[in-house]
Structure 1
Amino acid sequence: MDLDAFTAVHSDEWDRLHRLARRRRLDGAEADELVRLYQAVATHLSTVRSAAPDPVLVTRLSDLLTRARVRIGGTHEPAWSDVTRFVAVDVPAALYRIRWWSLAVIVGCLAIGVVSGVWVATQPEALAAMGTPSEREEYVQNAFASYYDPGASFAAMVWTNNAWIAAQCVGLGITGVWPVWVLLQNAVSVGATGGMMAAYDELDVFLQLIAPHGLLELTAVFVAGAAGLRIFWTWVDPGPRRRVVALAQEGRALITVAVGLAGALALSGLVEGFVTGSALPWWLKIAIGALALAAFWTYVLVLGRRATQAGFTGDLDADRAGEVVPTAG
């Protein structure tokens, strides 16, 4: 059988079935047409399998029939179930798959932050680069603490700013440059600030104010950077998949990471807005921050491991992602 000729003759029917299967509402005539085309395409698939079993065409027609069968059967799940699955399965699966990338980024950024802090705290020229003596004194004694102004508006401002940074790390990760720049900037900035506070014997104030929200906030930013770098590495080394397919699959899954981290950053924003600058005892503030961080990693490691073992990656379902050319390996 001439497969090209067969495809040319029947492609209009396949396209029509695809369009009907994706419509939210069908009238009586369209519903009858959907059933008729489903039967015809099922015959086409049988013909292809028996006469010229091309894997690409077989996959395309199989996916098309699956989508049409679901549409005919009316087995659409309620919208809330999609939200539940996204939160409980897709997000933790996507985060779990980059856990080692996240760990490497966290360790690297912590090392850079510590080195930056020690350098500023011990080297006069590095401390001088942080500002004039009067500016440093004002920052250490007043500005640093007064920044954390309790309230909903402050929490919302912090959340939107950090969520935007995380989204940029993932969305621009393919450049390989932007996430590195963001990670370095954050690590050096936090470390240098801590070093300046230490130089004025205010390191305890720095830790008390940065730890409650910073444990989760910085972790989320570092994980976003890891997701961006993972996309870049997929572009460099796509493995057995075609590069464009690998980028599409990993990109969709890792955008899920950005959406999930928005939730984590919302939690850290609440802590920063209502706990960090509050009158609570410092030990309780840090305990709340540590609990938020523990909740995040429990969510990632427990639910994520379960989801990946079930075959989820954080990517879209096959019927929403579109057909993929089969690859060996």
Structure 2
Amino acid sequence: MDLIKENNAALLSVAPMMDWTDRNCRMVHRMLSRRALLYTEMVTAQAIIHGERGRLLDYDAVEHPLALQLGGSEPALLAEATRIASDWGYDEINLNVGCPSDRVQSGCFGAVLMTMPQLVADCVQAMQKVSPVEITVKCRIGVDDQNPEEVLPAFIALMRDSGVRRLSIHARKAWLQGLSPRENREIPPLDYPLVHRMKAQFPDLHLSINGGIASMDEVRGHLQVMDGAMVGRAAYHQPWDILGQADLLWGDEPTFTNPFDAAIAMRPVIDAHVTNGGRLHQFGRHMLGMFHGRPGARGWRRLLSEGASKATDRASALAVYDAALAEVAAGAEAA
């Protein structure tokens, strides 16, 4: 079954974020939403071909629907990485044409590819030839001095002509020189109206909007126009606020009625993880914002951030987690 098309998982997705959306993070997010489409961190084609494939590509089956994001700019290498990754059973493979970091630019991929649209077309076509699942693209509205009003529709048209049927568009330019990756996520102004116009111009494509979306109210607003909304930092820093009620978008009842019950449900997952040699902080760092804005949130964050890295065995890890839960329970009772 094609989970993306069957369930329209791309209605809401969590953006691929380097150093954040690892498999432990995705387990937390999947606990909160059965429906949202999750993305891996970007993995380079070279790493998959030459690196430790299990470490890079393994995931838990409960993470579906799950997309793999690839980085690269050489069609043959991307095709080979796609062929290798197809054995892992991802629901989608996505090409990164939006990341502005220095290490991405030095490899001639990510946002710099907005200046080489024909190369992107060659890449996706090479990937499509060997992929059993859909190849998608995540892009910016332009880079540097490009005029997004001209560049973006031309880019989307070329992607459509190359067989791409689904794109996620970060509604900001990327500045390849002079801004850090963090500044590129904040300083270039958002241009939601331009991305909205792309949906009117390309009604046959599935287009998701990304960039600066900070609440479910904003998600619902964009979905009045767009086919999908992709949320990044807000889903990471406030996972319950974004994903806790997300399944309502599909007409499904949420799994949990409050973040405390979700955190309780994570306890056996964490127990299994530390029992098998993992560390609490590998989950805890992704859960610091679970109680954002709620009573006990400060104590929860303090205990997880300070205690998780010191917990060296199962007993101490669960003791720290239980103490953090107790902080939230006490805060709720006091409120």
What TM-score do you get using the length of structure 1 for normalisation? Answer: 0.23
Higher helix share: 1
Structure having greater relative contact order (Cα 8 Å, sep ≥ 6): 1
What TM-score do you get using the length of structure 2 for normalisation? Answer: 0.23
Structure with higher Rg: it is: 1
